[in-house]
């Protein structure tokens, strides 16, 4: 018989012995209940000890209701499917069973390894802090180990993640006893999986204080979603800390809308034992696969956000330093992982964190409006375009350009020439702009601080050569924005019709300009939405002449009439008293009009019929 490093196979026996060199295993008939599927049962008050450098292997399901001791250097290998600790289970170490320091040594290592998924019912209660606790635990199962049976698990020494995931499965896991213990071997493929719901269990680290420096919580939600946290807890009074994560971001922490495009689609839930306000540095690492598109595009401007339950909103922070590759691993730094950090004045007992980014480049917008063209004595038109350049952020835009390719709009036989280009603020007009080969309205030295709006005014002379009608034009705003952390963003946004700077990410809308050789120009429609642009039905070149106007809907019902019209209809029903508005808006749609214009000087009349559209 071998006395050095013996291996014992415990299969279908009740054990009461010290495992050292030679152990006798006695099949028994102790009063064990509900153990039909468990091949090994340690009864209450029964004592089994793995001594010295012995190795014990368990090939069946296991229940421990007694004392399963182990000394430093011993190994207990679990190859069975299920391990259950009952509340009376105990795991003393080399200090011995009757020694008051029996739980302050190192103890042996309990290793879970199998070709099948394994289940562990730890028999511990984190809230009551009672039950059995493994001295050390090794997870070496590529098919993963699941905590089970609605009981928590406690490892007072070291947890080693050698292969596979350790799933909490709705049960808490506490590492450490009088200190945070240790977790080794964690990486993007070996971590503690908290699950993927907004309510679940936590990974606890015991008695964290400033003495330990940074403590890592190697958690994730599921395979491929490694999302660890590290905490530097700046207090001399140790506390248990807990962390979990889920792959959903709600606008109200755990409820509400989801899918914010400027955030990582994950939420981290952290906390401490009591309400003592303790400063802490929290670092969070995420995988690139959990980023929303706008977050990816502006990752350099990202920051950790905390949910404010008083304001019912995620708070804003100046972007923090972001680092890559991810270093919260015991293996090779993770190329697809990014790490942000934030200083918190206190962890709180139930704090929710996520990551947002500041989409500064989306905040550079351009509105473009065509003012009413003025017909010149020679038949040409003076056409004025007004550009509203808006920076809604706080960063300065450098090397700003407003691009307008007029030659693509005013095509033959129509011709144009530049009358003037002017600008406000730190926008420097390009006096060489011609709209053909030189399409930039600004000089490269143009800048725009934020939040601020500056303007560019372009005046043209246009000769239609009988090519009457609408000319639709879209401009572009381009430039470089210096982001945080040394990042630079090149943006290229298109204009939106109107005189009000649009909200970020508003779809482009071309700007129409009606140029007609007719003495009076009837519009195709207008948009009475109160934005200050195209809000009234304008008859071009009406001047001081008198107009009578009738507007009919598709059913032939008259919705508006005014015998002395002066370009002031706002899309509301008339009240049969002159042309006064009733204040009630007509519906969006197509309408038929009749207009009779009487020249004040001569009394000559011209009559126009046609259709117009109203859209708001």
DSSP per residue over 404-447, as a string?
Answer: --GGGTS-TT-EEEEEEEEE-TT--B-TT--SSS--BSB-TT--
**45 and 172 assigned to the same domain:** yes
**Residue 499 to residue 513: CA distance in whole angstroms:** 14
For the chain, percent of residues with pLDDT exceeding 70: 90
CATH, residue 421: 2.60.40
pLDDT digit string, tens, across residues 506-562: 788 899 988 876 777 788 888 898 888 788 999 888 888 999 999 999 888 899 999
For residue 198, pLDDT over 90 is answered with no
**Total domains, the chain:** 4
Question: Average model confidence (pLDDT) for the chain?
Answer: 87
User: Minimal CA–CA distance to 84: which of 60, 108, 120, 53?
Assistant: 120
Which residues is 448 bridged to in the sheet? 397
**350 and 456 assigned to the same domain:** no
**432 and 365 assigned to the same domain:** yes
Q: How far is CA 114 from the centre of its chain?
A: 38
User: Minimal CA–CA distance to 504: which of 524, 486, 477?
Assistant: 477
**Residue 297 to residue 593: CA distance in whole angstroms:** 49
- The average pLDDT across 601-616 equals 84
407 lies in a domain?
yes
63 lies in a domain?
yes
**261 and 160 assigned to the same domain:** no
**22 and 148 assigned to the same domain:** yes
**55 and 157 assigned to the same domain:** yes
Q: Which structure tokens are listed for 358?
A: 């500041």
Q: What backbone torsions phi and psi does residue 352 show, to the nearest 5 degrees? A: -110, 130
202 lies in a domain?
no
pLDDT digit string, tens, across residues 412-458: 999 999 999 999 999 999 999 999 999 999 999 999 987 889 999 99
**Residue 333 to residue 109: CA distance in whole angstroms:** 28
Last residue of a domain, one of 487, 515, 543: 515
187 lies in a domain?
no
Last residue of a domain, one of 358, 374, 405: 358
Q: What backbone torsions phi and psi does residue 152 show, to the nearest 5 degrees? A: -80, 170
User: Minimal CA–CA distance to 195: which of 91, 266, 104?
Assistant: 266
**158 and 9 assigned to the same domain:** yes
Judge whether 421 and 411 are in contact, CB under 8 Å.
Answer: no
pLDDT confidence of residue 155: 98
Judge whether 154 and 181 are in contact, CB under 8 Å.
Answer: no
User: Minimal CA–CA distance to 608: which of 555, 545, 544, 554?
Assistant: 545
Q: What backbone torsions phi and psi does residue 296 show, to the nearest 5 degrees? A: -60, -45
Structural domain of 296? 229-358
206 lies in a domain?
no
DSSP 511-525: EEEEE-SSSSB--SE
- The average pLDDT across 12-27 equals 37
Q: What are the distances in angstroms from CA 39 to CA 66, 80, 144, 237, 613?
A: 15, 9, 22, 45, 83
**499 and 546 assigned to the same domain:** no
**96 and 109 assigned to the same domain:** yes
204 lies in a domain?
no
Confidence tier at 581 by pLDDT (50, 70, 90): low
Last residue of a domain, one of 298, 328, 358: 358
**Residue 3 to residue 21: CA distance in whole angstroms:** 4
545 lies in a domain?
yes
**290 and 147 assigned to the same domain:** no
Exposed, middle or buried: residue 101 (CB in 10 Å: 0-12, 13-18, 19+)? Answer: exposed
26 lies in a domain?
yes
For residue 489, pLDDT over 90 is answered with no
Exposed, middle or buried: residue 560 (CB in 10 Å: 0-12, 13-18, 19+)? Answer: buried
**301 and 255 assigned to the same domain:** yes
**4 and 102 assigned to the same domain:** yes
């Amino acid at each position: 018989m071998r006395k050095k490093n013996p291996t014992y196979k415990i299969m279908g026996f009740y054990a009461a012995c010290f495992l050292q060199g030679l152990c006798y295993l006695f099949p028994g008939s102790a009063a064990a209940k509900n153990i039909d599927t468990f091949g090994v049962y340690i009864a209450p008050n029964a004592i089994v000890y793995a001594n010295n450098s012995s190795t014990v292997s368990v090939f069946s399901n296991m229940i421990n209701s007694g004392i399963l001791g182990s000394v430093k250097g011993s190994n207990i290998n679990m190859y069975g499917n299920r391990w259950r600790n009952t509340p009376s289970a105990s795991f003393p170490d080399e200090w011995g069973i009757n020694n008051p320091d029996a739980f302050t040594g190192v103890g042996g290592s309990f290793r879970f390894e199998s070709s099948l998924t394994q289940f562990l019912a730890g028999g511990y209660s984190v809230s009551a802090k009672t039950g059995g606790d493994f001295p050390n635990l090794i997870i070496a199962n590529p098919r993963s180990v699941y905590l089970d049976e609605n009981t928590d698990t406690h490892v007072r020494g070291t947890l080693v993640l050698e292969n596979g995931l350790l799933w909490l499965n709705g049960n808490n896991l506490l590492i450490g006893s009088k200190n945070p213990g240790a977790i080794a071997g964690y990486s993007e493929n070996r971590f503690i999986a908290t699950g993927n719901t907004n309510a679940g269990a936590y990974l606890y680290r015991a008695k964290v204080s400033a003495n330990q420096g940074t403590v890592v919580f190697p958690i994730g939600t599921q395979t491929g979603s490694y999302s660890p946290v590290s905490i530097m807890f700046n207090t001399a009074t140790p506390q248990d800390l807990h962390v979990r994560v889920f792959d959903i971001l709600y606008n109200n922490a755990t409820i509400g809308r989801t899918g914010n495009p400027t955030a990582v689609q994950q939420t981290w839930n952290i906390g401490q034992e009591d309400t003592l306000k303790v400063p802490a540095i929290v670092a969070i690492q995420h995988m690139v696969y959990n980023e929303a598109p706008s977050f990816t595009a502006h990752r350099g401007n990202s920051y950790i956000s905390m949910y404010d339950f008083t304001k019912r909103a995620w708070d804003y922070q100046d972007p923090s330093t972001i680092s890559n590759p991810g270093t919260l691993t015991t293996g090779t730094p993770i190329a697809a992982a990014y790490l942000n950090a934030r200083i918190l004045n206190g962890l709180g007992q139930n704090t929710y964190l996520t990551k947002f980014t500041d989409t500064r480049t989306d905040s550079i917008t351009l509105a473009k409006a065509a003012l009413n063209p003025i017909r010149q004595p020679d038949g040409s038109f003076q056409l004025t375009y007004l550009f509203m350049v808006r920076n809604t952020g706080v960063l300065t835009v450098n090397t700003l350009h407003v691009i307008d390719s007029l030659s693509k709009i005013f095509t033959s036989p129509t011709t144009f020439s530049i009358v003037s280009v002017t600008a406000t603020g730190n926008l420097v007009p390009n006096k060489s702009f011609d709209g053909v080969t030189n399409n930039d309205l600004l000089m490269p030295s143009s800048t725009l601080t934020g939040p601020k709006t500056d303007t560019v005014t372009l005046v043209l002379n246009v000769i239609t050569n009988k090519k009457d009608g609408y000319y639709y034009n879209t401009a572009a705003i381009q430039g470089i924005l210096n982001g945080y952390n040394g990042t630079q963003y090149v943006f290229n946004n298109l204009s939106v019709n109107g005189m009000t700077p649009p909200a970020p990410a508003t779809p482009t809308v071309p700007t129409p300009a009606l140029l007609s050789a007719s003495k009076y120009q009837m519009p195709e429609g207008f948009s009475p939405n109160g934005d200050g642009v195209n809000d009234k039905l304008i008859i071009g070149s009406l001047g001081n002449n008198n107009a009578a106007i009738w507007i009919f809907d598709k059913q032939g019902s008259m919705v508006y009439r005014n015998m002395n019209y002066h370009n002031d209809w706002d899309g509301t029903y008339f009240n049969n008293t002159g042309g006064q508005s009733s204040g009630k808006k007509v519906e969006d749609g197509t309408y038929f009009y009749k207009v009779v214009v009487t020249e004040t000087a001569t009394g000559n009349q011209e009559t126009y019929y046609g259709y117009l559209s109203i859209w708001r």
